[in-house]
Amino acid sequence: MTPHAPLVLASGSPRRLALLEQIGVVPEHLFPAELDESPEQGETPVALAVRLARRKAEVARERFRAEERTAAYVLGADTVVATGRRVLPKAETSEEAHACLTRLSGRTHRVVTAICLITPGGKVREKRVETRVKFKRLSRAEIAAYIASGEWKGKAGGYAIQGLAAAFVIEIIGSHYGVVGLPIYETATLLAGEGYPVVESWGGDAPGAEDAA
């Protein structure tokens, strides 16, 4: 396989790394970008996700170039959970998690995940995926049990759909992987479209003339 520029993931999220590895894409470097993720005044959930994904990629690219002095593919992503225009936090306390779950109970909410790819040549490519998720009406006991699990810590909207909170979901319209934190199809398409060898990394030889005969 022809050598390619390395891939830098601008995230320390085990979920995003696992989703990339699921399709055979293993970043050579992880450069988490610590940002203030508070919405700006009047900023919509979509605009927030897009801005943060791009800024994470930019910060990681700056750090990588300073340390490695070479070009790379840099992938940033951000996930925002919202009810209407209201952005729910990435819950860090049990109080925040309780408030999120109470607000999501019995309602349909939006999950917006934006991805930003900066190519070795400096081109910026972006995609965003919006998914609607409907929660069952949660009892006090269910909320208390989920908070006791600790699974909500650091999660947008105070829950992880790939974990115990899957039991709360009645319906998903859109990308399940987008809710987890990285829409696989869109990410693979973005990378492949800019020359990153996604399927080539799967191993094996492509069918040749002998196979086609």
> Contact at 8 Å (CB) between 88 and 157?
yes
HSE-up of 25 (CA within 13 Å, CB side)?
Answer: 28
Whether 205 is a known active-site residue: answer no
Reading the block at residue 142, the tokens are 């269910």
Listed in order, strand segments (DSSP E) in the chain are 7-9, 29-30, 73-83, 86-88, 108-118, 124-135, 169-173
Q: Which of 67, 94, 82 lies closest to 8, judged by CA?
A: 67
Which residues partner with 126 through β-bridges? 116
The Cα–Cα gap between 147 and 102 comes to: 12
Cα first-last separation, the chain = 24
CA 60 to chain centre: 15
Which residue is listed with tokens 């934190």? 181
**Four-point Cα dihedral 146, 151, 154, 159, nearest 10:** -50
What residues are labeled active site? Answer: 78
